[in-house]
Amino acid sequence: MSDLRLVYLSHAMDVFRPTEAQVRRFADLCGDGADVRRCTSEAEFLALLPEARAVFVWDFRQEWFDRAPKLRHLCTPAAGRDYFRVVPPPRVAMHYGTFHGAIMAETALGALLACTHGLLPFASAMRRDGGGKAWPRRDIMLRSRRLCGQTVAILGFGRIGRAFGALVKPFGATVIGVRRSPVPDPAAADRVAGVGELDEVLPLADHVASFLPSGPETDGLLDARRLALLKPSAFLYNFGRGNLLDEEALAGALRRNALAGALLDVFREEPLPADSPLRDAPNCFLYPHASAFAPDYLDLYFAKAAAEIRKLNAECTMHEEPRPAREEG
């Protein structure tokens, strides 16, 4: 069986573009039967596509399926199911990245600790004070808290959310995961609630961190009504997708001191418009969709992808179609 695998991960960001060494390591992980080729141009990719059984890409066009009669696996490092705007033929299984938790959980934990102890607002205040008069020790004393004893609600308790919960729990915080299908996970949460219980969970939380994907069921989930359920002392974090949040309502809540702060990595429109109300909302800290950046991003991806494709190929015969990877809720 021909097992040509094409790696065409062209991207403007270095961490999302593989080096030759990374592709060689990937080839080693794939095993002796795999012929792994690194494509550096669209022309090279399209020339080899007719013989490819699996492709690893950031972009794929609908018309390319007609060029790929042997294709069985369409793979991307992206986690969001909204990333590919294509409809694959039945013979092609789509695979998304499932490795992001190792990176994003650390980013989210750093954000949570920074907000809990006032590191972000007060460090910024001291830098802005050109006269050198700011010395906000009393303000920090009144605001700083330990994570121990606080309640952290995690919206989207899939792989990434569970990785975050597993980092938070050792600090002594109470963790509540929220997902479509509640399944107990004592290592990562003290309680796992259903989406239908969200209105009950939000008032309990000192921190609300979202890792939810994009989709009709999450669009506007945190609207003005639900934001009003949060404590005035609560912090909100969004590392999932920007469709979740009513950004104008959040900016208004921050201006009214109805929330302690927010740290957002994703937005409804990206890049974030210059006139967004979030840009000058108090205690609103903005990150440019970068919570998964790390030098070993593609190393983690390739290790997971090679293992998944090896397993699927072992389960399939020449005449069987691969089963798509199961999505998490």
DSSP 39-71: --SHHHHHHHGGGEEEEEES---GGGGGG-TT-
User: What is the C-alpha separation between 201 and 208, in angstroms, rounded?
Assistant: 10
Task: Please give the distance of CA 214 from its chain centroid, rounded to a whole number.
Answer: 11
User: What is the C-alpha separation between 144 and 150, in angstroms, rounded?
Assistant: 12
Structure tokens at 107: 């980013």
Q: What is the layout of strands, in order, in the sheet containing 174-179? A: 191-194, 174-179, 151-155, 207-210, 235-238, 261-264, 284-286
Question: Which three-class secondary structure state does DSSP give residue 286?
Answer: strand
Choosing from 17, 25, 289, 310, the catalytic residue is: 289
Q: How far from 238 is each of 109, 112, 286, CA to CA, in Å?
A: 12, 11, 10
Residue type, 118: G
Q: Is residue 248 annotated as a catalytic residue, yes or no?
A: no
User: What is the C-alpha separation between 235 and 261, in angstroms, rounded?
Assistant: 5
What does DSSP assign to residue 173? -
Number of helices (H), then strands (E), belonging to the chain: the values are 10, 12
Residue type, 79: A
Q: What is the CA radius of gyration of the chain?
A: 22
Choosing from 270, 279, 315, 321, the catalytic residue is: 270
Q: Is residue 327 annotated as a catalytic residue, yes or no?
A: no
Question: Which three-class secondary structure state does DSSP give residue 71?
Answer: coil
Q: Are 170 and 187 in contact (CB under 8 A)?
A: no
Secondary structure element (H or E) that encloses residue 194, with its range: strand 191-194
CA torsion sign for 302, 304, 307, 309 is negative
Choosing from 72, 100, 241, 247, the catalytic residue is: 241
User: What is the C-alpha separation between 194 and 329, in angstroms, rounded?
Assistant: 10
Q: Is residue 207 annotated as a catalytic residue, yes or no?
A: no
| Residue 279 phi, psi (nearest 5) | -65, -30
Give the residue numbers marked as catalytic: 241, 270, 289
